[in-house]
Amino acid sequence: MIGVLILTHGPFGENLLKTAMGIMRDQEKATALNISRRLDFETLRRQVSEAIESLHSEDGVLVLIDAYGGTSYNTTLPLMKQYKICLVTGVSLPMVLSALANRQRLSLQEVAKKVCDDAKKTVAVIIPDEWKK
């Protein structure tokens, strides 16, 4: 089974995972980690490495990150050489639900792509008719 790690600034990721587990049920091999810019990169990288190792299996780990180019991204990107991981940025509740629902039947790369595709389907702009004049 593919592990799922959610990395975010502050408790956002923990809340996403708790919400997803409330919808789906508790999940094995899924965790969230708060990234603090107050810590140096070595400490952050060690924390992320430990989280990946705790989730790791031969199927790999999907790392869902809040912001492309942010601290979580920059901390994790170099670890791709060391671990079988895929990074997906812009984490949202639909992405977490998709990852948890599909990680047992798809490969790591397929889950990463599916998570992105599913997230795109949930983004919409709804404009009231009276504004369309």
| Structural domain boundaries enclosing 29 | 3-131
pLDDT at position 56: 82
Separation between Cα atoms, residue 39 and residue 29, nearest integer Å = 25
DSSP per-residue codes, 19-33: HHHHHH---SSEEEE
Q: How far apart are the first and last CA of the chain?
A: 51
Domain count, the chain: 1
Q: Looking at residue 51, which CATH number applies to its domain?
A: 3.40.50.510
The pLDDT score that the predictor gives to residue 132 is 75
pLDDT of residue 41: 84
At 111 the pLDDT is 98
Place of tokens 């990169």: 41
Q: What does the alpha-carbon distance between residue 104 and residue 96 come to, in Å, rounded to a whole number?
A: 14
Token pair for residue 109?
Answer: 């790369």
Pair 83, 56: CB distance under 8 Å: yes
Q: How is residue 40 written in tokens? A: 């140096």
The pLDDT profile of the chain, 133 residues, written as one tens digit per residue, is 999 999 999 899 999 999 999 999 878 999 999 987 788 888 899 999 999 999 988 999 999 999 999 889 999 999 999 999 999 999 999 999 999 999 999 999 999 999 999 999 999 999 898 887 6
Q: Are 100 and 20 in contact (CB under 8 A)?
A: yes
Q: Which of 6, 118, 119 is nearest to 61 (CA)?
A: 6
Give the per-residue pLDDT at 37.
74
pTM here is 0.92
